[in-house]
Structure 1
Amino acid sequence: MSNIQASATALEQAIRESDEFKDLKGAYDAVMTDEIAKKMFDDFRNTQMELQQKQMQGIEITQEEVDQARKVVETVQQHEQISKLMEQEQRVNELINNISRTITKPLEELYGSEA
């Protein structure tokens, strides 16, 4: 198991050193140093987390909450720095999803062979 853990640690480092992650960190830092962008981003994240918590608890989300969340998303997407941050986050998510597909391939092949 230690070989696998060592590989995982090396993969973590490779992600940190990737252009995708460096670009994400730069975009994140730009948002965090801009007072207006930071507040908008924090509001966006708080709205997102509140809705996710309600979903996980099985609490119904009202149409008013959906509309408010939509407005928050539209507002942050119009801010250039936050929009760039979201784009960079998407790139990192794609990278991690590709890695995840590679890692889980042995399981897919094992269980997929029975289907």
Structure 2
Amino acid sequence: MASNIYDIAYELEKALKNSQEYATLQAKYEETRIDPAAKKLFDQFRNIQMKLQEKQMTGQNILQNEVEEAQRVAAMVQQNQKIVQLMDAEQQMSIAINEINKIIMKPLDELYGKMSQ
């Protein structure tokens, strides 16, 4: 093999950082970060998300009051245009990464697809 796959992965990292999706995400994050109210709300939203994900992954029960708090904060987030735009940019970046992942996984899909034939 002419290139080390890890070198190619680092090139891909650089390409992602130079992508329009990343530039947009960076700009929207910065707009949110410098707005004290938006940053506080965004941090609160992310903390709740991480807490609930951790509970879910460890098999812990999520309490009704935690669900209600998450819903309340999510509703507030939807009212903040800066955070909405940040989340939209994050979704676009996620779509790009998912597409890249499909491309990367194609050799394994093809290999295992042959096995099932």
What TM-score do you get using the length of structure 2 for normalisation?
0.93
Residues paired across the two proteins, number: 115
1:93 aligns with 2:102: no
1:42 aligns with 2:47: no
1:76 aligns with 2:77: yes
Gaps of 5+ in 2: none
Deviations 1:58-115 (A, max 9, x none): 1011222112111111111210000000000000000000000000000011112222
Gaps of 5+ in 1: none
Q: Aligned with 1:36: secondary structure? A: helix
The equivalent of 2:14 in structure 1 is 13
**C-alpha root-mean-square deviation of aligned residues, in Å?**
1.2
Q: Please show how residues 60-71 of structure 1 align to structure 2 within 5 Å.
A: 60-71=61-72
Distance in 2 between residues matched to 1:19 and 1:90, nearest whole Å: 13
CA positional deviation for 1:53: 1.2
What stretches of structure 1 move > 6 A for 4+ residues in a row?
Answer: none
Shifted more, 1-10 versus 65-74: the winner is 1-10
Q: Aligned with 1:58: secondary structure? A: coil
Q: Aligned with 1:113: secondary structure? A: helix
The equivalent of 1:30 in structure 2 is 31
What TM-score do you get using the length of structure 1 for normalisation?
0.95
Counterpart residue type for residue 110 of structure 2 = E
- Between the aligned residues of both structures, percent identity stands at 47
